[in-house]
Amino acid sequence: MEAWENSLKKCITSPEELAGLFHAQGEDLAQVVRRYPMRITPYYLGLIREPGDPIWRQCVPDPAELHDFTQSPDPLDEERLSPVPGLIHRYPDRVVFLVSTACAVYCRFCMRKRGVGCQGMSPAPVDEAVAYIASQPQIRDVILSGGDPLLLSDDRLDQILTALRRIPHVEIIRIGTRAPVTLPERVTAKLARMLKRHQPLYVNTHFNHPREITGQSARACARLADAGIQLGNQSVLLKGVNDDPQVMRDLMQRLLAIRVRPYYIHQMDLVQGTAHFRTRVADGITVMAALRGHTSGLAVPHYVIDLPGGKGKVEVASARFSPDGSRLTVRNYLGDEIEYRET
């Protein structure tokens, strides 16, 4: 058994275990965990300094998750846009391939909170998904997602990448993973060597707070970068985590120092069970204003909204606000004008 697999066996998965470590934990979270599973790796648990801090908020269940009834479990209409199970075809030339339903840490703000880690959700049947991609010559870009693709074994991930590389029109493959952040020991020399064989390959990480950049996570990113893999980062704007302009600036600058290019800051998706993390778009604009001109352009990502209904990502910079600021109008990649409401 590899070290990272052993770490997964030692994860905290119940509020009772957490209460034994943090005596300040007073709420009964068992009901939350029955609906939305909990898992925290020993490494990520070690980054928590006190209950309620930015690391705690990202991984510890909150009763507020069960009090959000206004949003949809699947606001991006991923299930409707799935031509075969576990494959999402929203844009003409690219697809999202859900190869895993598990993560090292179950983030409380997850866009796929409805199914990741839950019984009843299964990864995409690989043969069926690969056959669909092979049948659609316009698809040139495949994004492996989940769950976390790096929770697959090296051999299983290699098989999937090999199958995709046999398709002539697939030009690039991307992997979305939070393993460097939550389980950095997963990024072994063996994994990096295997991934290097499947270039051009891009890995998007998911750091949300400067304290997640540690010696261990920096080494994990360096191992991938040294293998010639280009690294990007997608953060989510989260209340009480990174909605402070100085915190976000610090995060972006530290990412560049470990060879990870800031790519996106996402406005929180309108996902059921996550409303307590949502900020106003105006707050995100304030964060972006603290980056542009105040630090290198390399450290300034795109601030985007992924529109409900599967209508695609749009940059907030191009939005028009209503006079009262409660809604904004955006134009998506198809040229459609869409009104976006923050609640």
Query: DSSP letters along 108-155, please?
Result: TT-TTTTTTTSTT--PPPHHHHHHHHHH-TT--EEEEESS-GGGS-HH
Query: Which long-range contacts does 3-11 make (Cβ < 8 Å, 24+ apart)?
Result: 3/185, 4/183, 4/185, 4/186, 4/188, 7/41, 7/42, 7/43, 7/104, 7/183, 7/185, 8/41, 8/104, 8/151, 8/183, 10/41, 10/42, 11/39, 11/40, 11/41, 11/42, 11/104
Q: What is the pLDDT of residue 158?
A: 98
118 appears as a binding residue in the annotation: no
Residue 269 annotated as catalytic = yes
> Residues 6 or more apart from 326 whose CB is under 8 A from it?
341, 342
Active-site entry in 57, 90, 249, 278: 90
Residue 327 annotated as catalytic = no
Residue 90 annotated as catalytic = yes
**DSSP single-letter state for residue 76:** T
Active-site entry in 77, 94, 165, 259: 94
Active-site entry in 107, 108, 113, 340: 107
Sequence letter at residue 25: Q
Low-confidence ranges of the chain (pLDDT < 70): 23-27, 119-120, 325, 343
Segment 99-124, tens digit of pLDDT: 999 999 999 999 999 988 876 677 87
Number of residues assigned to the chain: 343
Q: What is the pLDDT of residue 343?
A: 65
Task: Please name the helix (run of DSSP H) or strand (run of DSSP E) that holds residue 202, with its range, or none.
Answer: strand 201-205
Residue 110 annotated as catalytic = yes
Residue 112 annotated as catalytic = yes
Write down all domains in the chain, each with its CATH number in brackets. 3-341 (3.20.20.70)
Is the CB of residue 254 less than 8 Å from the CB of residue 296? no
Q: What is the pLDDT of residue 318?
A: 84
221 appears as a binding residue in the annotation: no
Residue 310 CA from chain centroid, whole number = 17
Q: What is the DSSP string of 4-51?
A: HHHHHHT-B-SHHHHHHH-TT--S--HHHHHHS---B-HHHHTT--ST
Is the CB of residue 79 less than 8 Å from the CB of residue 310? no
For tokens 């908020």, name the residue: 57
Taking the CA atoms of 313, 317, 320 and 325 in sequence, report the sign of the dihedral they define.
Answer: positive
> Residues 6 or more apart from 68 whose CB is under 8 A from it?
272, 273, 274, 275, 276
Q: What is the pLDDT of residue 56?
A: 96
